[in-house]
Structure 1
Amino acid sequence: MFGKYLVLLSLMSVLVVTGCDSTNEDNAPESDGPQLTSLTGPDVDVSLALTSAQLDWVGQQIFRNECAGRFQCLVHWNDGEAFPSLGIGHFIWYPEGVEGRFVESFPALMEYMEQRQVDIPEWLRALEPFDAPWREKADFLAVDDSLRVAELREFLAGTQGIQAEFIFRRARQSLAKVIEAAPDNQKPEIAARLESLSQTPGGVYAIIDYVNFKGEGLSPTERYEGQGWGLLQVLLEMSESPDQSALVKFREAADTVLTRRAANAENPIERERWLPGWRKRLETYAEPPVFKISK
């Protein structure tokens, strides 16, 4: 049984972006993805397949979700946060000495861009250590209209496709980890829920966006009162109602999980300002007319 599960996990890490370059996956499978065998016997296919045009749409939608696609928002510092957020996915970048509870993602994006041989601004590449150069929001606001910040925004505006690839690959890598982290008796149903979501364009988008939005749910620091709010927690919260689609169940479960997070948060800004915005974002978890699943 254990060996069979390891095979399942190794296969589940494979997702396909048709038409996108890959630096580490020269032997990528066909875009319809592998058939995966679950712990309970039936085949489970949790591969995600997107063409480059579909991935562009997902990236643009994530950018709209984060800040309505505004150029100025590509380098931003939210009220109530101890770090700036950058790029279409509002990737977290901690200043030196700040140890936040949320998973930092901007340095990983820069590493991915280096692998893709993207021309990164020299001052950004030369930072050592690679920490955000502003210690607090007031420091950032003092230089918000500087040439360096303008260059950073232009750089991020010109690399939106690469950022979308990075977001997709993070979601891809999360699937096996999420199933592995689930309670043993719920691993098959978590895999089945991911399979159901992966069958529709809205479900594919929801998985990718939610991992970028609230993470995998695996970091022990991303907890309030011992309760997380990432992809794993949403999948565990999904109902078994036969009268609802997987996407509707995912959206409702995400609302429950995020409402619980806001209720457990010490900072009232999460309940008063952030939760309404989170719920608005969840409303985009619907079947878009823009694209169909790639076959």
Structure 2
Amino acid sequence: MAAGRPVTNAIEVTGLTKTYGDLRAVDDVTLAVEEGEFVGILGPNGAGKTTLLEMIEGLREPDSGSAVVLGLPAWPRNPALLPRIGVQLQASSFFDYLTAREQIRTFAALYGVPAAHADEWLERVGLVEKAGTRVEQLSGGQQQRLSIACALVHDPDVVFLDEPTAALDPQARRNLWDLLSGLNDSGRTVVLTTHYMDEAETLADRVAIMDHGRVLVHDTPAALVRGLDAATRITLADGEVITTRDPAAEIARLADEQRLAGVQVHTGTLEDVFLELTGREYRA
């Protein structure tokens, strides 16, 4: 956000709740995302991330509370809002029997976007060589990249991505990071759910960690790690491990003893924060 510019919220969520029988999928969530901000939503399976995103996108009616996007209520679905948001769902859905080029050109036409601009997006997600291939013949990762391109083809102001890199190989994932960083740098607001801690640390200005339908924390990755107050592990070349809460003093001592060669210092990470808040038990 430009210096001196007043803070404007692109998304304002207040008391958002969704219940299915005895399951409180989203439980009284209040959350704000600033204009031009990149926010990552983390949480175990079943934490409520996708349900929360779908209510903010206007795809699912909340039981109570409200979601306002770009100053407009997300529900009931507002035709004036739809051209200004881009949505990539967890499960890709395409028109039958169309090629990758025909798919994205169809999405573009729905928004009045020229075909040439749609073709540019195929290049940006590395699918030019697959432009004439029918979608059902694309790999899972290629379908994921096409889904992301279709969500972005109309240059929306706010972008919602639900686990966008889940099916991508490491190279494609890094390339998508560059693409998303560029979108955010151009002033767009980006909200994504992810299971990758390194993805959230690299891309997100702030991170919200959810569990059991509630947002437990919402802050910058650095602030969350600082708040963990985790001990630092210092690994020496001979394999000895020193655990300390005063790493500066230990490093100084090792320097005096001329034992710094090969030393590795491991501080707390966002993953440590995540596990501290949500536990380590397996989630189906």
> Would you say same fold, with TM above 0.5?
no
Structure number with the higher strand fraction is: 2
Structure index of larger Rg: 2
TM interval, short-chain normalised: under 0.3
TM-score (norm 2): 0.28
